[in-house]
Amino acid sequence: MKLVRYGQPGAERPGIIDTDGTLRDLSGHVADITGAAFEAGLLDTLRGIGSASLPAVAGAPRLGPCVGDVRTFWAIGLNYTDHAEETGAPIPKEPILFNKARSCIVGPNDTVVLPPGSRETDWEVELALLIGRSCYRIDRTEAAAVIAGYFICNDISERDFQLKREGLWTKGKCCPTFGPIGPWLVTPDEFGDPQDKHLWLDLNGERMQTGHTARMIFPVTEIVSYLSHFVRLEAGDIITTGTPPGVGLGMKPNRFLRPGDEMRLGIDGLGEQRQSVVAYHG
């Protein structure tokens, strides 16, 4: 299943993309697409509904973040061998964990706003996932069962804030609009093997990132199991799993986002995002 949330910011409605690519409204059956809804049996509810019986949504409404009511936004750094190499960082022995703020989450095609003082804002196409069942200290063999679905995340990062200011990476990861997710959440049965997917990002029509999830240092199930040994993962948590090479920080000379730029990015089976970049105006 491909599940979406559509409509104006803060007033998104749940929907589903049918086999013909038509957006259909789910609000008569479910209140929202959330981790709590999955934990309460959302998939069982949806399996009993024929998509052809659902009302088609007219026009081309804005697509919002594909997950509502996110609990915690977890992120993994330096998780591709070739990305670690391009930045000159050693290969991590354990997953590098940081947080992004829930307030940075926006829709897949919403505008990305450069924060005041930004000089080094960067792009990062990533495979992300939703935890659909709370868990603690689970084995890797159990991890797939708690994943409700997969989607694209653009982990926008202000490198000056992240790397040259005191404190944690989080400073450069949480500015408003720094977490586009979507366009839709794809359930694991439809998505298939998360370690066999191509991902890419173009900037102004030029290919910047080309990667494959087989190059992950820590696969998806290992990440989920690992995190669950340090924190109780809750239904509604999302985890973004790292980026392949081709980020601006890894280029010589460095290249970063500027007002007027346009990003386009995608992952096999998860659709595409497109964002325009603007300066902050207060």
pLDDT digit string (tens) for the chain, length 282 residues: 999 999 999 999 999 999 999 999 999 999 999 999 999 999 999 888 888 889 999 999 999 999 999 999 999 998 998 877 777 778 899 999 999 999 999 999 999 999 999 999 999 999 999 999 999 999 999 999 999 999 999 999 999 999 888 778 899 999 999 999 999 999 999 999 999 999 999 999 999 999 999 999 999 999 999 999 999 999 999 999 999 999 999 999 999 999 999 999 999 999 999 999 999 987
Q: Record the tokens describing residue 79, joined without a space.
A: 């998780």
Best CATH choice for the domain 73-279 from the list 3.40.640.10, 3.40.50.720, 3.20.20.70, 3.90.850.10: 3.90.850.10
pTM for this structure?
0.96
| The pairing of beta strand 238-240 with beta strand 125-131 | antiparallel
Q: Where are the domains of the chain?
A: 2-53, 73-279
Q: How many helices (H) and strands (E) does the chain have?
A: 7, 18
CB-count burial class (<10 Å; 0-12, 13-18, 19+) for 161: buried
**Which residues are CB-contacts of 245 (< 8 A; sequence separation ≥ 6)?**
80, 82, 83, 85, 86, 209, 210, 211
Q: How far is CA 47 from the centre of its chain?
A: 25
Tokens 């694209």: give the residue: 152
